[in-house]
Structure 1
Amino acid sequence: MSSFYFSYKRVILVDSADLCYAEIPLDEHAILLGKGNVGKSSILNSLRLFLLPEVNFSKCESKFAFRTSDKNSFYSKDQSFQHYFPSASSFLILEVENFTGSHCQILCRGTGYEYKRLFVPLPYNQIRDLFWSCCEDEDGIGQAVEGLTFPSVREKIKKRAPDTLVVNDTDKLQKMLYANDLLNDSETRYSLFPLVEQDNSKVNSLRALFLLLFDMNSNSSAMTKAIADIIEADKKSSNDILNFNIDDFLKKHEQLEQESKQLTIIKNQEIEFSHLKTKFYEYIQLSESDKKYANFMDSLFKEREQTKKDKKIIDDQIKPILKEIKELDDEFKTTNHKLIEVKAKIDTKTTDLKQAQSDFDKGHQIWQQFYISLTINNAIESAQQEHLEKTSQLSALNSEIEAQDQRNKLKNNITIYQNSIARFEESSKNKQFILAEQLEKPVASILASINKRLIQANPNKQLEIDDIEAINRFSSLFRNSGVSFDFYDMSFEKRSVDIFDDLEQQIIDIKEKLRKDKNTLSRLQQSNNSLHRQKDIQELEKTLEDLKLKMETLRKYPIAEANIETFRNQLNDMGIDKRNLEAKRTLIENSLFNKNKKHSALRPKQEVLEEKLVTLIGLEERSKILKGRYKRLKDIESNTTHFYQKTNISINSLNEIEDELSRFDELRNQIILGLHKFISEHIIDDEDNIRVDAPAAKSIKNTFKRLQEIFNELPQKRTILDEQILTHNQSVAQYTNVLTSHEKYIEAFKNQLNRDFQNIAINDLDKIEVNIEVDRRFRNLVAEINKADFHSDESLSSRFYERLKVFVNSFFNEKNSSRLTMDKIVTGLNYRIKKKGSDAWQTKKQSNSTTALINLELAQLLLRRIKKSGCTVTFPLIHDELADINIDQFDWLLPHLNKQGFRLFSAATYSASSELIHKIGNYHEIGSMKTARSYSADRTIVYLGGAEKFLTTEEARKMNIIFAEHPEIIFPNN
């Protein structure tokens, strides 16, 4: 089941239709059983009153179609009203449950032939006690409620459900009963059947379908009328009345012929009028030349004043902008000059930084390469010392006195070096006597920190105890601070006590010095003129240059190192100044750009206005000259304040005005002569008396206007005449189209039904086709209409008029309306079928059973067409003649109806077979219970409680039920 469902739960009749009280479920297949005239059919037919949006029984025969027992006529409004609402205590109640909840629709007697309708948002079990008292009688069937009337019920229900509605308007009922907005609970609260569209055509279709559900015999006129009503309801237009006079069309034709001759006569004068019209149009245009001058002068004055105002506005806008531009330009120059100075300083300081970095790199390289073990100052001293030595050597090579002095020094150094080597070598042999080996390590560490040579001393014997104690006492004067030994206010960095590598290195170093000095002594002992000495001199000179460069580079090294940091800080500060100035300059540039942009945007306007003002002043002088030439312009200029219009201001416009003034008088005379000619040829009457010597301008215009209307209307009149002929033909076509459209409606409806039946299988039928029979006279006339040409500009033949007249006279009589509706055209409905396993169509009249099944399927199909998609409606399908359906077809029919959302609701007398009752499954026996406590002595039948049904053998034995003769059929023991 869809989430949007609509289910009919029960119908209740209170003091209505020969019944005192009856409560019948509608949500399962059921049959009403009982003798004749106990109200079975009345219960079935009462549903029409709920389903249709009506408020009275007027035109009851067509509105509700309650058939009499002989099926040949209908109950009147009086009979129907008195049957269902015989008293003030008569009520009809329908309980419906949809996806918004349960509600009850209550009908009761009104004034005249009206009935009232309440919508109660409660299930029936919550209001049952208002209509029937179930527990206050000894028989257990209940009794009437005292004082039951509409006012009392309404008052009590309002207390239980304040939202109860009383609705007596057909339009509102239609919207409520067939509401289809599934997402609006309040709107669909009381919906019984959600229509796909709530237009009148769909509502009328639903009306016809509801009535069809109560009369399913296709051979009856009711079935034919129902199908016709459904087709009629689907029609889009009601403009289908046949009501016209053939003689009027013939007279109209003669009138059109006479008008055609008159228009031909006027056509012969068309060329002559064309020449006059050209002159008159020019004359009319030139007649406004004096006004043009006045308008020109007015517009010129206004334009000049407005131009002055506009120029002043632009000037006022430009003046402050130019001032701001100058101020910004001065500020830009100042800022840019400062920026140039900063950039120059940055360039100078960058050069200094590069030089300092170069000096640092060179000094660092020399230090790393030659003096890595020395501090910078010691490296400089070492280079200076070496420079002195090399200088001394060079002097010795160049001076014998200095050479001799140098040789003596070298010899002395050689002796000292040899003695030191001998001493170190001797010490190496007696390593065990070196002080570093004889002293305790903490004491040796202190001496090594002072001078490592102290612990390298070797007395070549074991120290005396006094000597060791003296050294220890001296060492005790030092304080260990962790990284150094402090002697009063002096600190000595801790050094390693490992001396043997140092001794070996010292021996190597002394031997190297010894070698160098011997080589130098050897060179000094050579002859002054030897090539070796000259080479040595050159090498020494080059060495001295290198040493000089090293000394200079080393001296710059610490200075450069300090300058790099200083220069970088200065460059950073200068960079900040530069960025600030650049940012300021950018802001000024942007402001200057915007101001210049504004000025550039305004300046063209200023130039245009300046140029325009010069032009306007020139035009003003030129127009004054023209006014002096044409004296009448002075008067027109002073008297035309009411027709001033804005005019194009240019020298060409002024020249054009002057030419028009001259041409105007010439054309006026020519037009008067031309009009005289048309009057003399009787084309137009001289109504305005223009044949005087000086006719007024108004008379000339009026005469020409009347003449122009004659010729201007000539094509239109010819077109109108042709259209009148065509319209004359088509006016007939409009009426005949009503006839042909009815045939199209029928054919389209039939085709749609047959397309739907292609997807439907009924019992043993393989295919089903519907045929709608149409009146023969109607078909013959439509065939003849299709041959006629209604779009010709020639009149239709008299034979056609006569044929149409015969049809109208024969098809409609004086009593019937000339409105052509489907019930006058559709004469019958029949089917042809093809059974499973057979290829042949059967066109003969089908059995009542087959016809009833097809009718039931047709009703379902038509209901689905107008039901809103996406929702489920569990609908009681009325069939009052179950005997028309073969008993073996119920095994297919009932599950099929269930699947389609329908519940078979039928009635029969006790003559109905038990097998039929068994097939349906549920039955309600009407008339077997009566009460003495009824609302009226005329209506005592009561029915309430659930349906009865057949039981299985096992169920029956458990309930101690008496068996019938046939064990497969079991009745409850009442």
Structure 2
Amino acid sequence: MTTLIHSEDQLGLDGLGEQGDAFGPVRIALIDSAGYCYCELPLDLHMLLIAPGNTGKSAALQALKLFLLPEDSLKKAEKKFRFAHKSGYYSGEQSHSFYFPAANSMLILEVENAFGYHCQILFVGRGALRYERLFVPARLDAISPFIWNKSLGDCGCPEAQFSPTLMREQLKKKYPGTEHAQNRDQVSQLLYPERALDPETGRFALLPLKKVDYSTLNALRTMTHMMFEDTTDGKQLAKSIAALIEASKRDETDNLELDLEAIEEEHRRLESDTAYIANVEGLEDKYNLVLQQYNNLNRLHDINIRWNSLLFSARKLAQTLNEKSKPLAEKVFHSNEAFEQAKQNLSRISTQAKELEITIGNNGDRANNGKGIKGDIQLFRSRVDKVNAICAQYPGTQIKEVILILEEYRQEREQRLSVLQENVNNAHRRLELQKNREDFKNKIFAENEKIEHINRLLGSHLTPHAQDVIATLIPDMLIEVLSDEELHLAIPKIEHFSELFNVDNEQISFHQQYWKKHPFSTKKQLQKNIASLERKLQDCNNQIVDIQQYQSEPANVLNKLKREVTEARNDLGLLNGIQQTRQDLHDKKEHLIEAEKQFTDAKQKIIDGQSQVTKTDAAHKKYQNAQTLLLKQSDEINAIVTSLAHLQKYQEGRLYEEHALATPCSPTKELVETLENDIEQARKLRENVLNGLRVFFEQQIIHDPHRIAMSQSPSGQHVKEGMESLQLVYRELPEKKTALKHAYTEHNHLLNTKTQTLIDNVTLIEHFQRNLNQELNETNINNLSGLKFSISLDNRFKKLVSEIQAVDFYAEKSLGESFYRSLVNFCQEFFSRGESQTLTLEDIILNVDISYKIIGSERWLDKPQSNSTTSLTTLAIVQYLMQRLFKPGVKYHIPYVMDELPTIDPPQIPPVLKEAETRGFTLFCASTRAVGVDVIAAVGNHCNIGDIQADKFFSQERRIVYWGALESLAPLDDPEMQLTEDAKFDEHISHAEVIDETL
């Protein structure tokens, strides 16, 4: 494994024991990030960052947000970090690809606190848009050698064995106490611990917050955005002030957690209870009547006894008949099963007989039809007969000899047929060869014509040396066509002329390249083609002569030979297979005997099966007739039970709980009629009771769990439960009236307590505004002599608070529909549907207006101020507000980011810096090279970045390198600096160049 090896001097171990003077960032380093290859910038003193446009100045300033805010992901970066560009904020994907574009990308923040120095290292995390932190108890000088070798080259180069993963592992081993934070909770506990001044918990504390909770961290976030964006926007300032007030509250009871929906729900419940009690009191007479009818109905308790006795006797008789019918039904069932089984057996045997008949071949006509065993026997016999007929043609000859004779005959016929077919094919071939012969003659003639043309070209009669000379000097002469006389006169002259020239290899190459495709150069190839065509022509002539030696025979002889060959082959097949055919014939005869025997047995089984079907059918009809008789008797008994069954509706809907054992009796018509009269009287009473209960159900005095109101015949038990519920309501009515008064008192007291929080928070806002104005009233910025702030609250909220102050919360009754209607209207107007209906200061503080007083004037002005005044105003506000977040008496220093410093007038800068120092802030700003020397001198320290680019780097896209000491200029009023403005700037530039050369 590759390891990083450094000496203790390189690691800076001698600086670990230093104790910081205050809480806050000291230096920031960007590695392969935000356009930089390697860059170190100080943060614990005022500093101006100077660089050309698009160098990454703003990116270096904005990177501080990643350290100040306890986050672990760049998801929703446009809301959490608000990295700004001209038209909005960068997305999480854009921000992550900018600050963490590669696996090597890291950001390091060196921090000091009461317990020493440490570094936060931000690097690419696991998961989309995530990053993680390593808290190392060491200074940046001890960590940077792992990354950048400052001793090589003009500006250094990447450490040869640099590996982010390996570096982190070695830092963990080298520095005990190193913490690796991978989620937001871990980061928050390390950056902003509850006990920042405790050495055990505050070792990696960044800033000493008064409290560590959601409100404080939210305040820190909003103030950070305001500081970085350098704006006095009223809405942004309102969010910051709301977060600060929330963070400054003493305890949770001060929070504006007023659940108005719950209050409204409790009010509706109390109003519902009031209406319920009034309704119950109005129906008390109806209740007394229903109770009387219910008691009268219960006095007819013997109806149930009489009905049970009659029904018991009737059911007993029906049970007796039912018991007799069971064994008879079993006999009917089993006899039917036997009958069906007999029919199935008969069907199965008949099927087997039919299958045997088909197998034998007796189905259909009596005459054999070629199917089954008999058909096979007939086929084998016909084959044997054919063999006998063949052998009869050769008397006294054995089968083997006949086979030899037929085989010789077949071979002779096939050979003769082959000869005849070859003759036919040769005739077609001869026609084809004759056609090819004519084609070859034509091609030979054409090729000779081409050669004749080439022979008349001048170039074809010259020597190679003459051809090279003429091709070089007069190329077109070579292809002139001349007569024999012209050629005879021209060739000697041209040959003599060509001897006057020496042809070198380059000219010869030119001639060969230029003329290699000319027609007279292909004469040899044409001659080769002619020779090849003549050989092919001779071959055609030879084949035609061979074919003419054979004479064709008539087509009828050819067909006859084909038939004779086929017949010989078939006869040979029969003769060769005669032994197998005879064996198959013998086997089929034996099979036929066995099958005919099985068929005879099957026919006998059919006769037996038909007899069994007849017997089981008779037994089944006997039991079926007996069952019919018994069912008739059962119908008569069931008619008696039916005559009593119409009274069962009373049994199902009885309204009392008395039960008695039924005693057997003979059910008579008189007893049934008497019972019917009593039941009719009970039915009317029961209907009156049910109608009365339905009134109380409809009025929701009592619940109807068994749906009695919707039932025609509810059970007596359900009706009894309804009456018991109704009686309980009226017994508990006095107690409920007393409880309602007590509930109103409790509700009003609770509402008073909760709404008082609203009034208290209004007071808290007014107090904060008063303190803010007192602190900044005499602020001197440019031509201003003071600032005044006015916090605007939501009008709906102010109206609600006004109404709350006019309500009497000590009454034992409702506070009035007007008050609750105001609450309801406030909820509907103030909250969106689906949102949590809990008020926060951020909801009710809508805007903050700033008024300005000009020096020498007593009037307060609301008009916008210059960019310089606005920037300085923002700086003063942020410093005042942010210091309220930190523990009193603890030193700290925070970089105040101001992206465009030149907007501030140079004379204003020294007092601004002095005021910032008293409140624990250092100015961290940026500008282009066009900044004046007076501004640079006013700030005091500056860094020129963007000029030095590394020769060796992590990524080609990021090559800017900056590290080393700050540059500085003396103030303009220094005697040594009494130069012209141009001379001052030239001296500044030369001073910067000297420092660059030193670096």
Q: TM-score, normalising length from structure 2?
A: 0.48
Higher-Rg member (1/2): 1
Q: TM-score, normalising length from structure 1?
A: 0.49
